[in-house]
Amino acid sequence: MDGSHKENGIRKRSTNACQRCRKQKIKCSGFQPCNTCHKRKLTCVFDDRDQKVLVTRGFIEDLQRRIALLERDENDLSSPHSYVEQERARPDDGGEEDRYSQNLEDADLTNPLSTGPSAFTTSMTGQTFYLGTSSNWSFARKILGMTHEHLYNSPLPTDTLLFEGSTYDLGWDGLRTTVYAEAPIVPTLDYSIYLINAVKFHAGQLYHLFDEGTFMGGLYAFYEDPQQQMATDGLWYIHYLAIVALGKALVVQRNRDTRPPGCEFFTRALQLLPDTTHLARDSTIATEILCCISLYLQALDHRNSAHNYIGQAMRIALAQGMHTDMPVLHLGEALVQRCRKIWWTIYVLDRQMTSLMGLPQSIQDSHIHPQLPSFPGSPQKVVALSMQIRMCQIIAEINSTVYGADGRLNRKFLLRTKAALASTTDLAGDLQRSFDLQLDKTTISGVSRMSAHLHLLYHQCIVLATRPLLLCFLKMRFQSADTCLETLNSSANVLRLLQVCIDSAQQQLNILSSLYEQSLLGEQLDLFTNAKLTPADSFLPFDLESTFVSSVVLLMAPAIDSALLESRRPWLHKSYLILDDMITRGNLIAQYRKNELEQMSALLYQLAPDRQPDDTGKGKELELSPPLPPAYRVPDLPGLGDGLTTAEIMAVAESIDTGDVDWVAHAVTENQIW
What are the residue ranges spanned by the domains of the chain? Answer: 15-47, 110-154+386-520+532-608+642-673, 176-374
Cβ atoms of 586 and 554 closer than 8 Å: no
* Torsion of Cα atoms, 88 then 94 then 99 then 100, to 10°: -70
Cβ atoms of 445 and 401 closer than 8 Å: no
CA atoms lying within 13 Å on the CB side of residue 606: 18
Helix (H, G, I), strand (E, B) or coil at 128: strand
Kindly tell me the burial class for residue 60, based on how many C-beta atoms sit within 10 Å of its own C-beta (0-12, 13-18, 19 or more). Answer: exposed
> CB under 8 Å to 385, separation ≥6 — which residues?
344, 372, 373
Across 421-538, the runs of DSSP E, i.e. the strands, are 524-525, 532-533
CA atoms lying within 13 Å on the CB side of residue 529: 10
Helix (H, G, I), strand (E, B) or coil at 518: helix
pLDDT of residue 607: 77
pLDDT of residue 347: 95
Cβ atoms of 448 and 138 closer than 8 Å: no
Q: What is the pLDDT of residues 331-372, one digit of tens each?
A: 899 999 999 999 999 999 999 998 888 888 888 888 888 899
The verdict on whether omega for the bond into residue 468 sits within 30 degrees of 0, i.e. cis, is no
Instruction: Return the amino acid letter for 583.
Output: I
Helix 234-251 × helix 283-299 angle, to 10° = 30
pLDDT of residue 385: 92
| 448-462 residues labelled b (16+ CB within 10 A) or e (exposed) | bbbbbbbbbbbbbbb
* Torsion of Cα atoms, 622 then 624 then 627 then 633, to 10°: 170
Q: For the domain 15-47, what is the CATH code?
A: 4.10.240.10
Cβ atoms of 384 and 450 closer than 8 Å: yes
pLDDT of residue 168: 59
Q: Cα(421)–Cα(493) distance, rounded to whole angstroms? A: 14
- Our CA angle for 276, 280, 282, nearest 5°, is 135
Q: Cα(464)–Cα(520) distance, rounded to whole angstroms? A: 30
Bridge partners, residue 10, by sequence: 32
Q: Tell if the pTM clears 0.75, that is, is over it.
A: no
Q: Cα(320)–Cα(284) distance, rounded to whole angstroms? A: 9
Q: Give the containing element (helix H, strand E) for 216.
A: helix 212-224
Bridge partners, residue 524, by sequence: 533
Q: Cα(353)–Cα(74) distance, rounded to whole angstroms? A: 29
pLDDT of residue 322: 92
| 248-278 residues labelled b (16+ CB within 10 A) or e (exposed) | bbbbbeebeeeebbbbbbbbbbbbebeeeee
How far is residue 585 CA from its own chain's centroid?
Answer: 22
Q: Cα(471)–Cα(111) distance, rounded to whole angstroms? A: 9
Q: Which residue from 342, 475, 496 is spatially nearest to 417, judged by alpha carbons?
A: 496
Kindly tell me the burial class for residue 159, based on how many C-beta atoms sit within 10 Å of its own C-beta (0-12, 13-18, 19 or more). Answer: exposed
| Torsion sign (Cα): 318, 319, 324, 326 | negative
Parts of the chain with a pLDDT under 70: 1-16, 48-55, 58-59, 61-62, 65-66, 68-134, 137, 159-184, 253-257, 404-412, 439-446, 519-539, 608-643, 656-674
